[in-house]
Amino acid sequence: MKKIKSILIVLSSIFLLAACGNSGSKESSGSKEHAEKKEIKIGATAGPYADMVKKAIKPGLEEKGYKVELIEFSDYIQPNIALNQGSIDANLFQHTIYLENFEKENNMDLSALITVPTAPMGVYSNVFHSIDEVKIKATVAIPNDPTNAARAFNTLRDAGLLEISKDADPLTVSEKDVTSNPKNLVFQPLEAGQLPRAVESADLSTVPGNFAIAAGMNLLDALTLENMDDKYRNVVAVKAENENSQFAKDIIEVVQSDDFEKVIDSEFKGFGKPTWMEK
C-alpha cells in the first residue's frame, strides 16, 4: 500500500507540473499573439482626419506589415464607444480635452498616444482683407460653447484685437476675462457649425478648423490662424490597456516619421503642428 501511495503521489506531481507547463505555454502563446497583432482597425471622422489616416498613417503601418482598415464615423460619439468596445483598435478625431471629458463622463479608460497636426481655428472675413483693417464696433461671430469660445478669445488676443487678464486660464477664457477691447468689438455667440455661414453676416467669424474644412473653406484664407495649445490638437487614441502594445508603438513611430511629415506638408496645408514636431 505504501508503494502504491508513493506511485500515486509521484504521478499526481507529474500531472500538476505538466498542467502548469501547458498553462504557461498557452499564456505565453496568447501574449505573443497579442504582441504580434497585424490587423488593426482605425476609426476617424469623415473628412481631413480620415484622410490623414488614409494618406499619412496607413501607408507607414502597411510597410511594417499591418493590414489596416479605416472605419469612418459621422459623429463625435461613436468613435470612442467603438474604441471602448474593442470594435476598433485606435481612433483619430478628438483633442485631449474632449477625450478626457468623454472618458470621465462615460466611465471609460482611454489613452492619447500622440498628438497630430490639426486644423486651427481661423478668423475669416468677407469685409476686411487684414486684421489691421478691422474697424470700430465690428461684429465678431464666436462659438457659443465654452471650449471653442476660449480658443476664439485667445486667437483674437494673439491678433492684437483684445487684451485678456493674465490670471485667466487659457483653456477657460471667456468674455468676462477681456480687460481691453479697444475697437469695441461686438461678439455674436453662435453654434460652431453655423460659424462658416456667419462670414456672410458678421464682419469677422472665428471658425474652428474642422468646420472650416467641412464648409470648403481654405485655411490659408483666414486673416489669422490660431496659435493652438497642444490640448486642442487632435490625438490618436487607444484603450488604456493597449497603450504599450506593439501596434500602439508602431503607430507612434509612423506619426513621428519623416514620411508622415512630408504628407502633412503637401496634403494638409495650414494645419498647425504639435510642439513635438517643431523641436
Mind listing the pLDDT tens digit for each residue in 176-190?
Answer: 999 999 999 999 999
User: At which residue does the C-alpha cell 471658425 appear?
Assistant: 207
How confident is the prediction for the chain on average, in pLDDT? Answer: 89
Contact indicator for 234, 92 with CB cutoff of 8 Å: yes
Instruction: Average the pLDDT over each of 11-25, 98-112, 123-137, 146-160 and give the range with the smallest value.
Output: 11-25
Q: What is the mean pLDDT of residues 27-34?
A: 42
pTM assigned to the model: 0.81
pLDDT of residue 50: 96
Same domain, 147 and 50: no
Question: What does the pLDDT average to over 75-85?
Answer: 96
Cα separation, 160 vs 80, in Å, equals: 38
Taking Cα atoms as reference points, which of 273, 232, 43 lies closest to residue 145? Answer: 232
Q: Buried (b) or exposed (e) across 239-255, using 16+ Cβ within 10 A?
A: beebeebebbebbeebb
Domain that holds residue 206: 122-227
Residue 24 has pLDDT above 50, yes or no: no
Q: What is the mean pLDDT of residues 209-238?
A: 95
Question: What pLDDT shows up at residue 278?
Answer: 87
- Do residue 235 and residue 98 come from a single domain? yes
* Helix, strand, or coil (residue 69): strand
The pLDDT of residue 17:
37
> Does residue 127 sit in the same domain as residue 221?
yes
Q: Label the pairing between strands 224-225 and 90-95.
A: unpaired
pLDDT at 15: 39
When pLDDT is cut at 50, 70 and 90, the band that residue 80 belongs to is: very high
Q: Is residue 5 part of a domain?
A: no
Reference 31, options 244, 197, 187, 201; nearest CA is 244
For position 263, which CATH number holds? 3.40.190.10
Number of domains within the chain:
2
- Give the mean pLDDT of 76-101: 96
Range of weakest confidence among 14-28, 128-142, 204-218: 14-28
Residues 137 and 223 placed together within one structural domain of the fold: yes
Segment 60-76 mean pLDDT: 97
Residue 5 above 70 pLDDT?
A: no
Residue 54 reports pLDDT greater than 60: yes
Based on the fold, state whether residues 148 and 274 are members of the same structural domain.
no
Same domain, 126 and 111: no
Q: Please report the pLDDT score of residue 191 as a whole number.
A: 94
Do both 95 and 187 map to the same domain?
no
Neighbours of 72 (CB within 10 A): 15
Q: Yes or no: say if 203 and 124 are a contact pair by the CB < 8 Å rule.
A: no
Q: Which of 227, 251, 266 is the last residue of a domain?
A: 227
Confidence band of 20 (pLDDT split at 50, 70, 90): very low
pLDDT at residue 279, rounded to an integer: 76
On the question of pLDDT at 65 being above 50, the answer is yes
**pLDDT tens digits along 244-267:** 999 999 999 999 999 999 999 999
Of the chain, the end-to-end C-alpha distance in Å amounts to: 78
> Which of 227, 249, 265 is the endpoint of a domain?
227
